[in-house]
């Protein structure tokens, strides 16, 4: 898509949203597989299904409901994506990250991005919440490929603090206040949708990954390009292939996410209040 065409689409989507929603969201939240229950805490909600939003893709993955939810959390204004788009669904990187661009033009300045991930670090256990401190892009593509949208950000954005250090430090304090003690880790993004092989997991471990999944990194690249601060949280829903001798399934991913959802939701609520 050409630069002007993309900017026109973005303006059209923004106009559609601001006609329906009369709050300006300070913070964006992207909810990972099975973690959509956070939206129950949002007050004065305005819910817009993705299929109604011009230029929005539609989520096709179980555990991703497919709606934008605007409202307030403990007095802070938010927009939550209940359902994200994945590269493996067949969307381009530009479509996968379109909602983050929409957040940017709506004035969102901070993003909490969450996911269900496989644990590579043997110190992790299913059900752990991990703060993402950095990432490795193994998806073979980058959402900024193509002409730079110079109105939205620089050609060569710096990712040396892709996951804002000050926010990570604050998040550790906030976590303790809600009774959790997250470790920090590096998230590797693969394109999927097949789960990684044991040999790939050994490789990822060697190159410094603690977690693996099929999302997040494109969104974080775009958020950084657009000047947002980012906090990333992975929920370890299973250990990655070959770490334990058991097979992987999306059903297990959903089950673990549901099991820790209450704790996750409490944490994200406290983060919105503390970081926005």
What are residue 189's DSSP bridge partners? 137, 213
CA-CA-CA-CA torsion sign (177, 179, 184, 187):
negative
For the question of residue 187 being annotated catalytic, the response is: no
For the question of residue 55 being annotated catalytic, the response is: no
Question: Nearest distance from residue 93's CB to ligand R1P, in Å?
Answer: 15
Question: Nearest distance from residue 194's CB to ligand R1P, in Å?
Answer: 10
Choice among 33, 59, 95, 234 that is catalytic: 33
155 among annotated binding-site residues: no
Question: Nearest distance from residue 189's CB to ligand R1P, in Å?
Answer: 8
177 among annotated binding-site residues: no
d(CA 174, CA 262): 16
Site residues for ligand R1P per CB under 6 A: 32-33, 61, 84, 86, 115-116, 192, 213-215, 250, 253
User: Nearer Cβ to ligand R1P, position 84 or 135?
Assistant: 84
33 among annotated binding-site residues: yes
User: Nearer Cβ to ligand R1P, position 80 or 152?
Assistant: 80
225 among annotated binding-site residues: no
Question: Nearest distance from residue 106's CB to ligand R1P, in Å?
Answer: 22
86 among annotated binding-site residues: yes
Chain centroid to Cα 203, Å, comes to 24
181 among annotated binding-site residues: no
d(CA 174, CA 130): 13
d(CA 68, CA 47): 6
User: Nearer Cβ to ligand R1P, position 77 or 238?
Assistant: 238
Question: Pairing relation of β-strands 67-73 and 76-82?
Answer: antiparallel
In the bound state, the residue with its beta carbon closest to ligand R1P is 32
User: Nearer Cβ to ligand R1P, position 104 or 115?
Assistant: 115
For the question of residue 64 being annotated catalytic, the response is: yes
The residue written with tokens 């991930």 in the block is 117
Q: In terms of residues, how long is the chain? A: 276
Question: Nearest distance from residue 48's CB to ligand R1P, in Å?
Answer: 20
**Whether residue 193 has a cis bond before it, omega within 30° of 0:** yes
d(CA 128, CA 184): 11
Q: Give CA angle at 115 (253, 173), nearest 5°.
A: 120
Choice among 95, 121, 215, 224 that is catalytic: 215
C-beta separation of 89 from 61 below 8 A: yes
Residue 265 contacts by C-beta under 8 Å, 6 or more apart in sequence? 37, 38, 40, 41
For the question of residue 124 being annotated catalytic, the response is: no
For the question of residue 33 being annotated catalytic, the response is: yes
Annotated binding site for a purine D-ribonucleoside: 196, 238
Q: Which residues are catalytic?
A: 33, 64, 86, 88-89, 116, 214-215, 238, 250
Annotated binding site for phosphate: 33, 64, 84-86, 116, 215
């Amino acid at each position: 898509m050409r630069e002007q065409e993309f900017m026109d689409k973005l303006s059209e989507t923004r106009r559609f949203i601001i006609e329906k929603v009369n709050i300006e969201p300070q913070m964006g939240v992207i909810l990972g597989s099975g973690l959509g229950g956070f939206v129950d805490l949002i007050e004065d909600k305005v819910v817009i299904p993705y299929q109604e939003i011009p230029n929005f893709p539609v989520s096709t993955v179980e555990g991703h409901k497919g709606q934008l939810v605007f409202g307030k959390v403990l007095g802070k204004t938010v927009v939550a994506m209940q359902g994200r788009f994945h590269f493996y669904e067949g969307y381009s990187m530009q479509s996968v990250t379109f909602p983050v661009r929409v957040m940017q033009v709506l004035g969102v300045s901070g993003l909490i991005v969450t996911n269900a991930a496989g644990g590579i670090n043997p110190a992790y256990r299913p059900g752990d919440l991990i703060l993402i401190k950095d990432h490795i892009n193994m998806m073979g593509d980058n959402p900024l490929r193509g002409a730079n949208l110079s109105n939205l950000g620089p050609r060569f954005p710096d990712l040396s603090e892709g996951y804002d250090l000050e926010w990570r430090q604050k998040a550790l304090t906030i976590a303790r206040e809600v009774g959790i003690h997250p470790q920090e880790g590096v998230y590797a993004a693969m394109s999927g949708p097949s789960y990684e092989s044991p040999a790939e997991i050994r490789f990822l471990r060697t190159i410094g990954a603690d977690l693996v999944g099929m999302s997040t990194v494109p969104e974080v690249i775009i958020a950084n390009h657009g000047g947002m601060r980012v906090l990333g949280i992975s929920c370890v829903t299973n250990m990655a292939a070959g770490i334990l001798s058991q097979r992987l399934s999306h059903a297990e991913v959903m089950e673990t996410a549901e099991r820790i959802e209450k704790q996750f939701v409490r944490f994200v609520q406290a983060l919105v209040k503390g970081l926005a």
